[in-house]
Structure 1
Amino acid sequence: MKITNEIVRKTANLAKLQFDEVQERAMVADLQKMVDWVDKLQEVDTDGVEPLTGMTFETDQFRDDTVKNHLPSEKTFKNAPKHDSSYFRVPKVINQ
């Protein structure tokens, strides 16, 4: 597949992107490299290779969702420098 300026313009329009001429030429070159790499993968012989649904054959180990004893609030907040009745107090990190 040949990547053209027209393909890049249409794709950029759909993605709400804007490129100047230099950026557009660079995008054509980069996309062409990607398409060439994918085309090269078509040459790989995959006969007899089963498709993967994941990268490992291990299965998840689940545990029962059971309620267990929890730490009481007094002990939870014992070493906290600042806290309310049921929350840790931390310094503000987002300024608006």
Structure 2
Amino acid sequence: MAKQIDDETMENVCILAKLSLTEEEKEKAKKDMQEMLDYVDKLDELDTSGVEPMSHIFGDQNVFREDVVTNGDNSKEMLANAPKAKEGQYQVPKTIG
């Protein structure tokens, strides 16, 4: 059986999560946390001796395409749409004082 969530543990969780809970909310949270721990204990009962460890549920390998530039350098065309440009870059208003 999972470790029981006590008031001290709940108080530490509230401090770490910066939560201000009423006593009623703390009791509900303790109950919810206890249910989660009990569920994890239930999962530990499963026999996984014949299950191969995996990082993903699908057997796919790298399905991403190669990172190849296909459109080249369109900086001149992009800068043509800019309201202002200076030295090959967008010119924007100063935003920091």
The Cα RMSD (Å) is: 3.2
Task: State yes or no: 1:20 paired with 2:27.
Answer: no
Give the Å deviation of 1:67.
2.7
Deviation of 1:51 after TM superposition, in Å, equals: 1.1
User: Could you list the runs of 4 or more consecutive aligned residues of structure 1 that deviate by over 6 angstroms after TM superposition?
Assistant: none
Q: Which runs of 5+ in 1 are unaligned?
A: 72-96
Aligned twin of 2:31: 29
Which protein has the bigger strand share? 2
Q: How many residues were matched structurally?
A: 88
TM-score by length of 2: 0.65
State the SS of the aligned residue for 2:59.
coil
Shift of 1:14: 1.1
In structure 2, the partner of 1:87 is none
Equivalent position of 1:58 in the other structure: 60
Counterpart CA distance in 2 for 1:51 and 1:40 is 19
AA partner of residue 28 (structure 2): A
Could you tell me which runs of 5 or more consecutive residues in structure 2 were left unpaired when the two chains were aligned: 75-97
TM-score by length of 1: 0.65
CA distance in 2 between partners of 1:64 and 1:26 (Å): 50
